[in-house]
């Protein structure tokens, strides 16, 4: 992949943690990139650094060495405020648990990141409704999370992650809490959203059936991203 095709690049990224007198290396010179409209599966056993990779790529953690290049901009050494601003606008996160705000409706949960970004309330509501319709849960927009099924909750979480039209979607076991049929349905909705919007998506999953449906598969070995 040419560098110009990449939406996000990790170049020589290292991540270490200190436990007492020991230095634990999680990421060791990771080189990895995603292009627009591409969905990549990250398949690796627990404890190998999947979450650390996602958090570093998503600017939640700062690399100890190397850099994260997002839309051509080096982000690894930016200030916390700068990285927060970029993350709010250009990166979407989906986790295994939906983390929706329980006191707000599905529609309001989608409006929240847009309002924080500064969009007028009317515009945020319109886009939120469009996203819920696209995820085929528009009729459930005024229901709170507790009134939604697990699959519906996760589709709302995915829609919320892309509410600000980010460049990159990072998902950590987004279907891990769902039964196989619901997981497949949620993935279909996620895949359609990525294809339609041109997002670059990295999805950590233990589900090999879903991983096989993505554009390519990678894993973590000795702190590096390698193809499967």
pLDDT digits (tens, 9 = 90+) for 38-86: 999 999 888 888 999 999 999 999 999 999 999 999 998 899 999 998 9
**Distances, alpha carbon 33 to alpha carbons 2, 27, 50, 52, 226, in Å:** 10, 15, 15, 16, 12
pLDDT digits (tens, 9 = 90+) for 1-49: 444 588 999 999 999 988 888 888 899 999 999 999 899 999 988 888 8
- The pLDDT value given to residue 39: 94
Residue span of the structural domain in which 119 resides: 6-227
- The pLDDT value given to residue 2: 47
List beta partners, residue 40.
202, 216
8 A C-beta contact, residue 106 and residue 132: yes
8 A C-beta contact, residue 177 and residue 157: no
Distance separating alpha carbons of residues 74 and 182, to the nearest angstrom? 38
In a domain, 198, yes or no: yes
Query: How deeply is 126 buried, as exposed, middle or buried, from its count of CB atoms within 10 A (0-12, 13-18, 19+)?
Result: middle
In a domain, 1, yes or no: no
Distance separating alpha carbons of residues 187 and 202, to the nearest angstrom? 13
- The pLDDT value given to residue 156: 92
- The pLDDT value given to residue 146: 94
Domain count, the chain: 1
Which one is predicted more confidently, 135 or 82? 82
CATH at residue 29: 3.40.50.300
In a domain, 163, yes or no: yes
- The pLDDT value given to residue 4: 55
In a domain, 217, yes or no: yes
In a domain, 15, yes or no: yes
**Distances, alpha carbon 20 to alpha carbons 48, 128, 145, in Å:** 20, 47, 41
Once rounded to an integer, what is the mean pLDDT over residues 127-138?
Answer: 90
- SS3 string, 124-172, reads HHHHHHHHHHHCCCHHHCCCCHHHCCHHHHHHHHHHHHCCCCCCEEEEE
Once rounded to an integer, what is the mean pLDDT over residues 195-218?
Answer: 90
In a domain, 38, yes or no: yes
Residues 6+ apart with CB under 8 A from 151: 178, 182, 185, 186
Residue 96 has pLDDT above 80, yes or no: no
- The pLDDT value given to residue 1: 47
- The pLDDT value given to residue 176: 79
**Distances, alpha carbon 159 to alpha carbons 65, 135, 165, in Å:** 33, 7, 10
pLDDT digits (tens, 9 = 90+) for 148-205: 998 899 889 988 988 888 999 999 888 877 888 888 888 888 888 888 888 899 999 8
In a domain, 32, yes or no: yes
Residue 98 has pLDDT above 90, yes or no: no
In a domain, 180, yes or no: yes
Which one is predicted more confidently, 146 or 98? 146
Cβ burial 73-104 (10 Å sphere, 16+ → b, else e)? eebbebeeeebeebbeebbbbbbbebebeeee
């Amino acid at each position: 992949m040419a560098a110009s095709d990449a939406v996000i690049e990790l170049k020589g990224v290292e991540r270490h943690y200190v436990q007492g007198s020991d230095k634990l290396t999680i990421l060791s010179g990771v080189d990895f990139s995603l292009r627009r409209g591409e969905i990549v599966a990250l398949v690796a056993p627990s404890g190998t650094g999947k979450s650390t990779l996602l958090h570093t790529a998503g600017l939640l953690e700062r690399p100890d060495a190397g850099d994260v290049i997002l839309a051509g901009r080096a982000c690894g050494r930016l200030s916390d405020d700068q990285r927060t601003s970029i993350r709010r606008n250009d990166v979407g996160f989906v986790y295994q648990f939906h983390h929706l705000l329980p006191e707000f409706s599905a529609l309001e949960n989608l409006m929240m990141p847009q309002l924080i970004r500064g969009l007028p309330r009317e515009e945020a509501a319109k886009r939120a409704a469009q996203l819920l319709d696209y995820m085929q849960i528009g009729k459930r927009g005024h229901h709170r999370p507790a009134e939604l099924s697990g699959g519906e909750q996760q589709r709302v979480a995915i829609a919320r992650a892309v509410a600000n039209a980010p460049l990159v979607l990072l998902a950590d076991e987004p279907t891990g809490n769902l039964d196989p049929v619901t997981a497949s349905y949620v993935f279909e909705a996620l895949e359609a959203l990525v294809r339609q919007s041109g997002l670059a998506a990295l999805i950590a999953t233990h589900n090999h059936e879903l991983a096989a449906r993505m554009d390519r598969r990678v894993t973590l070995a000795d702190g590096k991203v390698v193809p499967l």
